[in-house]
């Protein structure tokens, strides 16, 4: 009886109860009533489910929008902090007189995109990215750095060399990336065909430094790729020691990973090589000091290595170690 009343009230609310409906309900068996009730319950549950789903979707939407609104400035703040830290480190690390001007030339730019790798990876972007990092390091070593470009613009190759002359630069480094049809890999350097000692020293130091960062070391070439009697225009125009440096192949996944994952380390390695060359050519006293320091460090590492090996193998008698290092 109660169930019949329930269904009647349902009909009343939903469709308005008339005489025909009332008669229809009274004729229903208990089983039919139960089925109608079960169907109603199911419908209600489905509606609730839909409602809940809509609710979850809205909450997620709100969370995503909130994250975007909050995170964007947060990223910008962290970037600004990082830049400030780098600047502070730069200023803190060098207090002496200015040492001299280094010219850094990020290869290509503007309409001239240089070599193009997979997924429209442009050489001109890689060269600018790395050069900007190099400038940071060089400034922290006390150098004045002049760059041929700090944005995406085209400059003639000979003009880049002339800019270095006008700036009174002591060293000229043009940053590039290589490309090969087959599977070329590694770092290489081109120096002017005049093959002067300074350029060769700079090129050797640069390749050795990058080899330590994991790049395959290729050769130093005087002249151009195909002709030892001609010059790349920037190398010909620059009157100081000059190197056109190919920092890995843009066509090699291995080199691109080495380039991207270690951008800072590569920049530091290049900057250290420039610093070392500068000392040898222009600051002989400092170079001697640095060489002494390097020898001291090498001796120390050798000692540590020796002690460790001895501890591991027990092959080296203790007294022989003592005589070796008490000299």
List, in sequence order, every beta strand (DSSP E) within 95-179: 101-106, 116-117, 121-122, 144-147, 171-178
Q: Are 151 and 182 in contact (CB under 8 A)?
A: no
Alpha-carbon distance of 186 to 217, in angstroms, equals 6
The minimum distance between CB 227 and Zn ion, in angstroms, equals 17
The minimum distance between CB 266 and Zn ion, in angstroms, equals 16
Evaluated on CA atoms 178, 183, 188, 192, the torsion sign reads negative
The minimum distance between CB 123 and Zn ion, in angstroms, equals 5
Residues recorded for the chain:
327
Neighbours of 93 (CB within 10 A): 12
For Zn ion, give the closer residue by CB, 114 or 248: 114
For Zn ion, give the closer residue by CB, 179 or 265: 179
Alpha-carbon distance of 326 to 324, in angstroms, equals 6
Q: Using CB under 5 A, list all residues that contact Zn ion.
A: 107, 114, 176
For Zn ion, give the closer residue by CB, 141 or 249: 249
The minimum distance between CB 108 and Zn ion, in angstroms, equals 6
The minimum distance between CB 112 and Zn ion, in angstroms, equals 9
Neighbours of 221 (CB within 10 A): 17
The minimum distance between CB 229 and Zn ion, in angstroms, equals 21
Rg (CA), the chain: 36
Q: What is the DSSP string of 302-314?
A: HHHHHHHHHHHH-
The minimum distance between CB 187 and Zn ion, in angstroms, equals 13
For Zn ion, give the closer residue by CB, 176 or 268: 176
- Judged by DSSP in three states, 16 sits in coil
For Zn ion, give the closer residue by CB, 25 or 175: 175
Alpha-carbon distance of 206 to 243, in angstroms, equals 9
Number of residue whose CB is nearest Zn ion: 176
For Zn ion, give the closer residue by CB, 116 or 287: 116
What are the CA-CA distances from residue 56 to residues 46, 63, 129 (Å)? 15, 10, 43
Q: Are 88 and 136 in contact (CB under 8 A)?
A: no
For Zn ion, give the closer residue by CB, 223 or 281: 223
């Amino acid at each position: 009886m109660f169930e019949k009343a329930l269904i009647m009230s349902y009909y009343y609310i939903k469709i308005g109860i008339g005489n025909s409906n009332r008669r229809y309900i009274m004729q229903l068996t208990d089983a039919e009533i139960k089925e109608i009730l079960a169907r109603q319950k199911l419908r209600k549950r489905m509606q609730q489910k839909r409602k809940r789903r809509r609710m979850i979707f809205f909450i997620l939407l709100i969370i995503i929008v909130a994250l975007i609104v909050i995170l964007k400035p947060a990223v910008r703040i962290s970037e600004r902090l990082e830049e400030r830290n780098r600047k502070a480190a730069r200023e803190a690390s060098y207090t002496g007189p200015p040492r001299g001007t280094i010219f850094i030339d990020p290869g290509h730019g503007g309409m001239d995109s240089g070599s193009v790798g997979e997924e429209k990876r442009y050489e001109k972007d890689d060269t600018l990215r790395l050069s900007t990092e190099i400038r940071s390091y060089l400034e922290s070593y006390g150098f004045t750095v002049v760059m041929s470009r700090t944005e995406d613009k085209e400059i003639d190759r000979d003009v880049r060399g002339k800019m270095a002359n006008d700036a009174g630069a002591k060293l000229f480094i043009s940053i590039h990336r290589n490309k090969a049809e087959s599977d070329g890999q590694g770092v290489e350097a081109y120096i002017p065909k005049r093959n002067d000692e300074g350029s060769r020293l700079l090129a050797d130091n640069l390749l050795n430094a990058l080899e330590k960062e994991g790049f395959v070391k290729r050769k130093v070439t005087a002249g151009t790729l195909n002709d030892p009697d001609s010059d790349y225009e920037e190398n010909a125009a620059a009157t100081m020691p000059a190197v056109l440096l190919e920092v890995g192949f843009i066509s090699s996944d291995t080199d691109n990973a080495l380039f991207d994952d270690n951008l800072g380390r590569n920049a530091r390695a290049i900057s250290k090589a420039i610093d070392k060359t500068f000392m040898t050519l222009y600051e002989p006293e400092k170079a001697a000091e640095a060489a002494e320091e390097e020898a001291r460090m090498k001796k120390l590492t050798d000692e540590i290595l020796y002690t460790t090996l001895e501890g591991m193998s027990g092959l080296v008698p203790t007294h022989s170690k003592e005589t070796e290092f008490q000299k």
